[in-house]
Amino acid sequence: MQIVLISGLSGSGKSVALKLLEDLGYYCIDNLPATLLPQTVRLLQNEGHQHVGISVDIRGAQSLPALPDCVADLRERQLDVRVLFLEAKTEALLKRFSETRRRHPLSTRFPDLTVSECIITERETLAEIAGLAHRLDSSDLSANALRAWVRQWLALDQSQLTLIFQSFGFKHGVPLDADFVFDVRCLPNPYYDPALRPLTGRDQAVVDYLEAEALCLGMYDDVRVYLERWLPQFDRDNRSYVTVALGCTGGQHRSVWLAEKLAAHFNTHRQVLIRHREWQDWQEDK
């Protein structure tokens, strides 16, 4: 039996992720109190359900402290339990609440708090759950891109560490879910070549341009050696995911090239995902 627990900040895309699971044939439950998780799973198991998606979030705040123990208990029963935590930058969440004109779930319990204060309170309350989960920053993702990234995550072998290479543009902010951030804005920029400007780091002309530069290959070697040295420590720490974020100015050329090149190297001996945050259409096509 596979159980996918979805949690995270209000407005970060939990409903999109849960609807995707439902479309994939999962039996889905929204807003289940954490204390009911063990008996609910037992009931669904007895009914023969093999794939279950459950949302546990701030709406059941009083029962949230029980979630870590519940997850540990289910895993001791040899169940495949996967936890996904969706988050987003405060400004992105504020924009979404403004556009939908929906109230924050905490505003009923704390009517004197502003939406920003509700988001801060929610982020602090859910911090322990975030530590249990694969974190995914949806700040700059369309609904289609989020669905694609969740699909990728579901397909992973959870028994081994997954190395995620994510390109991004600093002008759009650093990803919240990054474990390591490497700034490659110091490298020569193809943007200033009119012929290369409309291309990306996956186009051969851009690859040739960057790999003709000793600085670019030096950056690649340094990051590769660093990761090869330290990833075994994460293996020993039983980590499930390590996200390596690679940022250039716009997230189009240099960071994309380096993410692709590192992924190609590590994919020969590790489980790897590639995410290009500023180029969501690539992920949607995969």
- How far apart are alpha carbons 116 and 19 in whole angstroms? 27
Instruction: Please report, for residues 19, 91, 94, 97, 103, the alpha-carbon distance to residue 100 in angstroms, rounded to integers and kept in the order given.
Output: 18, 14, 10, 5, 9
Q: For residue range 15-72, what is the model confidence (pLDDT) as tens digits?
A: 999 999 999 999 999 999 999 999 999 999 999 999 999 999 999 999 999 999 999 9
**Is residue 5 within 8 Å of 84, Cβ to Cβ?**
yes
Q: Is 162 helix (H, G, I), strand (E, B) or coil?
A: strand
Looking at CATH, the fold of the domain delimited by 2-154 is given as Rossmann fold (3.40.50)
pLDDT band at 280 (very low <50, low <70, confident <90, very high): low
Please name the helix (run of DSSP H) or strand (run of DSSP E) that holds residue 163, with its range, or none: strand 162-169
Domain spans of the chain? 2-154, 162-285
Which of 165, 170, 182, 195 lies closest to 252, judged by CA?
170
d(CA 246, CA 74): 36
**Rounded CA gap, 116 and 258, in Å?**
36
Average pLDDT over residues 60-85: 94
Q: What is the overall mean pLDDT for the chain?
A: 94
Where are the alpha helices (H) located in 47-195, listed in sequence order? 67-76, 90-100, 115-125, 127-132, 143-154
Distance CA 54, CA 60 (A): 13
Percent of the chain with pLDDT over 90: 91
Q: pLDDT value at position 209?
A: 98
> What residues have CB less than 8 Å from 57, skipping those under 6 apart?
6, 7, 8, 10, 14, 31, 105, 126
Q: Which of 181, 138, 145, 169 is nearest to 252 (CA)?
A: 169
Contact 58, 125 (CB under 8 A): yes
Asked if 89 contacts 11 with a C-beta cutoff of 8 angstroms, the reply is no
Q: What is the pLDDT of residue 286?
A: 39
Indicate the DSSP class of residue 187. S
pTM: 0.86
- Residues 141, 20: Cα–Cα separation, whole Å: 15
> SS3 for 273?
strand
What's the sign of the alpha-carbon dihedral 240, 202, 147, 14? positive
Residue 256: how many other CB atoms lie within 10 Å: 30
What's the whole-number mean pLDDT along residues 163-184?
A: 96
